[in-house]
């Protein structure tokens, strides 16, 4: 990008004064670290690129700003020593026009025609130009420039306009930027002017016509749009030759006071000139004499050109320094903000963990075990009481049935048949009823166990949902270890859900009546056979002893206590079985609680470990950030000192 020896020497001077490249390398080092968030990296690198390009650009950009009829076009023509731009135009282009050095007058532009972009470039030897799409027929390049910069129909179609010109003022790399008029109806003109001065121009000439010194509209534009850049503006008072001599000095002094009062400028660069006197010399022949008055204005214009050349070069260095300062300040603020946000996020997570996890897992587990153990123990007692009552009813029913059968017997053979099959048949026939009674009560007990388990799951689910919600927010995406931990956490959450489903399915599929079948099978039938065999055998002989009625009464008298004893044993064994079964349910529920709480603990342990990893990362980030912040502060101070010396 650097071409001339002058440009190379200037770049070396810029580096010596600002250390630009070294500062930019430092900034790129910060960006490559993990201290800058990804969203800001591209913005910072774009700013670095702009500063690099500006430091390497061999051209110096001079923006010219002014209102309509301020003498802006005449001033530019005077710099070019060529009446290139049309003066007193009622309209201007909506883009900034660049005029740069070239051995020949050449125009390049981009036109927007019917929604399409058309590139137009004239040639060095172009004489008559025809552009059919614009209905332009056989005009010179100067006439084309006049049309493109002043014709209302064409100016709206221009996207870009660059003119190459062989003016001496441009030879050393100066590029004049003709900005749109600042008092145009189209507010976009002011925006383009502001953007040009902010991003491109090294210095700006503000044209103030002596006939209208600092209009309110111009003052407002300078104050609202260009205030950050006023220190690199040169205020040029044009048309001074139209002011009477005795009024010129007071006009300039008054204008300087107004700039100070209205814009807060301390000793602004204010230069009175006459562009027209310079342009008039272009039409004089060699024999024409120049008046002393004209010579004064010619000398002043030459002084202005020299001043502008020096100003452009010094301002370029100051601009680079300002941009570096601005960028370093932005990075410093961003690093501080990022670090603060990182710590705030960590503290929020830490508080969320504290508020949402079970703090004392041992106490929580023990409390819920005791709670549900107590509930099931009460259910066991209730089941036993209800079974005792039901079995007592069943006992009385069967006793009365057996007694009726015995007392209604009418002969010895019938008594013998009853003793062999009838009594046992009565008790055995009641087995389904007894089984249903036991099944009903055991089902009630199992249902209460199931309800207790569901209640625990509901309470646990509330805690688990808090944990699961935290699990979605505790990941540290730019930390490898935490990524792995986050994956483990997600896997455990998935396992917890599968565990919940599995436990519910097992509970739903459990056979609730096994204990009832076991009790009936092991107690009822064998017990009845043994009981009747021992009592009835000696009570049915017709040859021995009393009459049939006496035998029946004797049989019942001996049988009733044995039946009572039998049912008492039955109740005792059922109670034992119910107690055993009940405590198996308690153990099952406690195992269930332990299983869930162990899974819960494993998730919490991973989260706490992740937080510890995050704390370690933040401590390291804090150290690195503070190191960079100190270095940024040192560099800012260095650049500020260099900038002060330059100003």
Question: pLDDT of 381-426, one tens digit each?
Answer: 999 999 899 889 988 998 898 899 888 988 888 888 887 777 778 8
CA distances from 253 to 172, 220, 234, 249, 298 (A): 33, 20, 15, 6, 21
Could you tell me which residues come within 8 angstroms of residue 158 by beta carbon, excluding any fewer than 6 positions away? 93, 94, 95, 109, 110, 111, 112, 148
Identify the residue whose tokens are 């602004």. Answer: 268
Please report the pLDDT score of residue 324 as a whole number: 84
Query: Looking at per-residue confidence, does 186 or 82 come out higher?
Result: 82
Residue 602 is predicted with a pLDDT of 87
Average pLDDT, the chain: 83
In angstroms and rounded to an integer, the radius of gyration of the C-alpha atoms of the chain is 52
pLDDT at 484: 36
Provide the 8-state DSSP code for 141. Answer: H
Please list, in sequence order, all residues whose beta carbon lies within 8 angstroms of the beta carbon of residue 297, skipping any fewer than 6 positions away. 240, 241, 273, 274, 277, 278
3-state helix, strand, coil in the chain (%, to 5): 70, 10, 20
The set of long-range contacts for 448-452, using a CB threshold of 8 Å and a minimum separation of 24, is 448/375, 448/376, 448/379, 449/376, 449/379, 449/585, 449/588, 449/589, 450/507, 452/372, 452/375, 452/376, 452/589
Residue 276 has pLDDT above 50, yes or no: yes
DSSP per-residue codes, 273-316: --HHHHHHGGG--TTPPPPHHHHHHHHHHHHHHHHHHHHHHHHH
Q: State the average pLDDT over residues 203-212.
A: 93
Dump strand ranges (E) for 21-72. 60-65
Label residue 593 by pLDDT band (50, 70, 90). Answer: very high
Query: Mean per-residue pLDDT for 514-534?
Result: 50
Residue 527: what pLDDT?
A: 46
Predicted pLDDT at 512: 44
pLDDT of residue 321: 83
pLDDT for the residue 515: 54
More confident residue, 425 or 212: 212
Alpha carbons 72 and 97: distance in angstroms, whole number = 13
pLDDT of residue 93 exceeding 70: no
Q: Is 1 helix (H, G, I), strand (E, B) or coil?
A: coil
User: Mean per-residue pLDDT for 616-635?
Assistant: 90
Mean pLDDT in residue range 251-276: 92
Q: Which of 402, 383, 380 is nearest to 564 (CA)?
A: 402
Q: What is the predicted pLDDT for the residue at 499?
A: 58
pLDDT for residue 479: 37
Backbone angles phi, psi at 209, to 5 degrees: -70, 135
63 contacts 196 by C-beta, under 8 angstroms? yes
pLDDT tens digits, one per residue of 537-580: 545 555 455 788 888 888 888 888 888 888 888 889 888 999 99
More confident residue, 534 or 330: 330
Whether pLDDT at 509 is above 60: no
Segment 582-591 shows an average pLDDT of 93
- Phi then psi for residue 518, to 5 deg, are -65, -45
* Mean pLDDT calculated for residue range 129-139: 85
At 480 the pLDDT is: 31
- How confident is the model at residue 483, as a pLDDT? 41
334-384, pLDDT tens digit by residue? 888 888 888 998 898 888 888 888 889 899 999 999 999 999 999 999 999
pLDDT in tens, 435-444: 888 888 889 9
What mean pLDDT is predicted for residues 105-116?
88
599 has a pLDDT exceeding 80: yes
- In the predicted model, is pLDDT for residue 535 greater than 60? no
Q: Which pLDDT band holds residue 581 (cuts at 50, 70, 90)?
A: very high
Q: Is the pLDDT score of 53 beyond 70?
A: yes
What's the whole-number mean pLDDT along residues 185-199?
83
237 or 419, greater pLDDT: 237
The pLDDT score that the predictor gives to residue 477 is 36
């Amino acid at each position: 990008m650097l071409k001339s020896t002058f440009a190379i020497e200037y770049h070396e001077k810029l580096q010596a004064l600002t250390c630009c490249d070294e500062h930019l390398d430092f900034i790129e080092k910060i960006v490559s670290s993990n201290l800058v968030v990804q969203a800001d990296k591209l913005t910072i690198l774009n700013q670095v690129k702009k500063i690099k390009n500006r430091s390497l650009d061999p051209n110096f950009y001079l923006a010219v700003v002014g209102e309509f009829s301020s003498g802006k076009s005449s001033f530019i023509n005077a710099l070019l020593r060529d009446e290139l731009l049309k003066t007193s135009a009622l309209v201007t282009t909506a883009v900034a026009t660049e005029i740069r050095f070239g051995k020949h007058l050449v125009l390049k532009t981009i036109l927007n025609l019917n929604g399409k972009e058309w590139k137009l470039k004239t040639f060095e030897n172009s004489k008559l130009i025809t552009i059919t799409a614009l209905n332009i027929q056989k005009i010179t390049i100067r006439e084309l420039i006049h049309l493109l910069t002043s014709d209302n129909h064409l100016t709206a179609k221009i996207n870009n306009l660059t003119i190459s010109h062989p003016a001496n003022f441009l030879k050393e790399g100066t590029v004049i930027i003709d900005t749109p008029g600042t008092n145009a109806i189209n507010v976009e003109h002011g925006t383009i002017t502001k953007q040009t001065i902010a991003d491109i121009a090294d210095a700006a000439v503000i044209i103030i016509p002596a006939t209208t010194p600092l209009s309110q509209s111009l003052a407002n534009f300078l104050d609202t749009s260009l205030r950050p850049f006023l220190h690199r503006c040169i205020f040029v008072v044009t048309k001074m030759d139209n002011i009477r001599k005795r009024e010129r000095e007071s006009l300039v002094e008054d204008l300087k006071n107004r700039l100070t009062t209205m814009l807060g400028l301390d000793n602004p660069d204010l230069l009175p000139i006459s562009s027209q006197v310079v342009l008039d010399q272009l039409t004089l022949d060699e024999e024409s004499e120049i008046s002393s008055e004209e010579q004064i204005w010619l000398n002043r214009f030459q002084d202005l050109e020299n001043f502008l050349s020096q100003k452009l070069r010094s301002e370029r260095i100051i601009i680079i320094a300002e941009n570096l300062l601005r960028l370093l300040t932005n990075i410093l603020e961003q690093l501080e903000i990022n670090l603060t946000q990182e710590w705030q996020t960590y503290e929020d997570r830490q508080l969320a963990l504290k508020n949402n996890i079970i703090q004392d897992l041992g106490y929580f587990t023990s409390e819920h075990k005791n709670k549900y153990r107590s509930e099931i123990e009460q259910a066991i007692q209730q089941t036993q009481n209800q079974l005792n009552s039901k079995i007592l009813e069943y006992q009385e029913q069967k006793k009365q049935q057996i007694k009726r059968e015995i007392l209604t017997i009418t002969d010895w053979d019938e008594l013998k048949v009853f003793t062999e099959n009838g009594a046992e048949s009565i008790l055995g026939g009641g087995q389904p009823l007894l089984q249903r009674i036991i099944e009903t009560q055991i089902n009630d007990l199992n249902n209460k166990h199931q309800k207790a388990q569901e209640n625990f799951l509901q309470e646990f689910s509330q805690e688990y949902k808090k944990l699961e919600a935290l699990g979605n927010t505790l990941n540290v995406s730019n930390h490898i270890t935490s990524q792995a931990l986050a994956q483990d956490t997600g896997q455990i959450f998935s396992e917890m859900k599968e565990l919940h489903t599995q436990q519910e399915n097992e509970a739903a599929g459990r056979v609730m009546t096994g204990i009832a079948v076991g009790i009936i099978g092991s107690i009822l039938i064998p017990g009845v056979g043994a009981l009747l065999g021992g009592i009835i055998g000696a009570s049915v002989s017709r040859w021995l002893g009393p009459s049939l009625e006496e035998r029946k009464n004797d049989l019942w008298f001996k049988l009733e206590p044995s039946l009572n004893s039998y049912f008492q044993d039955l109740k005792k064994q059922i109670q034992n079985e119910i107690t055993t079964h009940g405590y198996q349910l308690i153990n099952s529920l406690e195992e269930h609680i332990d299983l869930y709480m162990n899974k819960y603990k494993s998730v919490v342990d991973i989260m706490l470990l992740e937080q510890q990893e995050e704390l370690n990362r933040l401590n390291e980030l804090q150290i690195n950030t503070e190191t960079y912040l100190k270095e940024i502060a040192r560099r800012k101070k260095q650049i500020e000192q260099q900038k002060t010396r330059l100003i």
